[in-house]
Structure 1
């Protein structure tokens, strides 16, 4: 549903930006660590800048970097990045009732800017899955803060990678930031179970070469999530007396 005023002048734009301000500190910290990691892994300045701007997915970047540094086959790098980003397929399905009516070109633009915490904030603001006034301005308000926080700190980390000492422990700070972001996504029993299964699978398969334990952990979490979803639907069908 189109807004009668430009998105940036709509009250929902400001609300979306405000909802992301507190989260942006953790996002920025993780962006700083990711920017430093890209340079320290040997990508160099130009490729690091290009990867930061084009990929715009910190978890996929950090999963792919050790594989690139180790000279892993390109299919392993791509498979790992795709598995790490499988959650965006779920996000896209969740956003479809809100933005499915928009032209394809506009939806492609939106898809580049989508992020985990944008999704969480948006769903809290608009819990009913239908188009409403103010949804696009709210989306762009959150994106303006999220995208800026990530890239400003990521590019800062790229340029200062050789200046900031590793002894500062920014890698550990980045891990803490990611844990904080992950914790905010654990909103129900299913997500908690999937997270625990992923953690256990990752530790159990830690000895796998080329960081393939990450792929195994994601596959295990997705499998458990699908099983729990089917079980929930079957239970609901039996409760209502309908077919599962």
Structure 2
């Protein structure tokens, strides 16, 4: 840990801190959902540590409870996490000269909010120590915050008031994360096309419409990234 690494970590933490508050309701909802599905504390936190993706966890829980085929559970989780493949490709240049042993765990720590607020600055700085600190600072903070409040949701599922509308708060939190991402035209196209497709395909059996809509949105975003010019700063 040199001085440049610590400077980058502090800078990344400061820029991500306001957005990270949105992780709290989403983590609580995930914790409550894990417990409601019948998982023990150990099982719930084990799944949370391994998957570390709230959307995929909540989407696959009903399938697990219903005894859905393993291939469908895996396909659903894979489809919902495909966005991280795009995120990883977009942020990869920021890890230039970072050792492989550090890049691999960084892939596990990557989340939507960190990608949304940190990518642009990270790609513009040459110092690899500062860049890695800029990524790792907010990423570790997000991971710790998520684990703490998922555990809170798991342990306090029965004590949380039903009129808190945590599901609605979690939706708002995801929308807050979506706003910074929409500055990129390809991401905006992917979100609009994917969202419209999910509505049109909602009648498909086994909720496969969501998976198909995600694939359509990713394809649309990829095409938009190749065809549409990037916005130029004034």
TM-score by length of structure 1 reads: 0.85
Per the alignment, in what secondary structure is the counterpart of residue 119 of structure 2? helix
Q: Which sits farther off after the overlay, 162-171 or 78-87?
A: 162-171
Among candidates 76, 79, 82, match of residue 80 of structure 1: 76
- Worse-matched range after superposition: 74-83 or 12-21: 12-21
Contact 1:97–1:131 under 8 Å retained in 2: no
Alpha-carbon distance change, 127 to 136 in structure 1, aligned in 2, over 3 angstroms: closer
Q: Find the aligned partners of 2:77 and 2:224 in 1 and give their Cα distance.
A: 25
Q: Is the CA contact (8 Å cut-off) linking 1:98 and 1:131 kept in structure 2? A: no
Aligned partner of residue 42 in structure 1, secondary structure: coil
Can you list the C-alpha shifts for 1:124-152, whole angstroms capped at 9, x where unaligned? 32343755441111112111321122111
Equivalent in 34, 38, 52 of residue 34 of structure 2: 38
Aligned length: 229
Larger radius of gyration: 1
- RMSD (CA atoms): 2.1
Q: Does 2:105 align with 1:113?
A: no
Offset, 1:100 = 4.0
**Which residue pairs with 1:239 in the alignment?**
none
Q: 1:4: which partner in 2?
A: 2
Determine whether 1:151 maps to 2:150.
no
Of 134, 137, 140, 1:138 maps to 134
Moved more, 32-41 or 88-97: 88-97
Distance 2:228 2:179 in 1: 23
The aligned residue for residue 53 of structure 2 is: 57
CA–CA separation in structure 1 for the residues paired with 2:96 and 2:37: 39
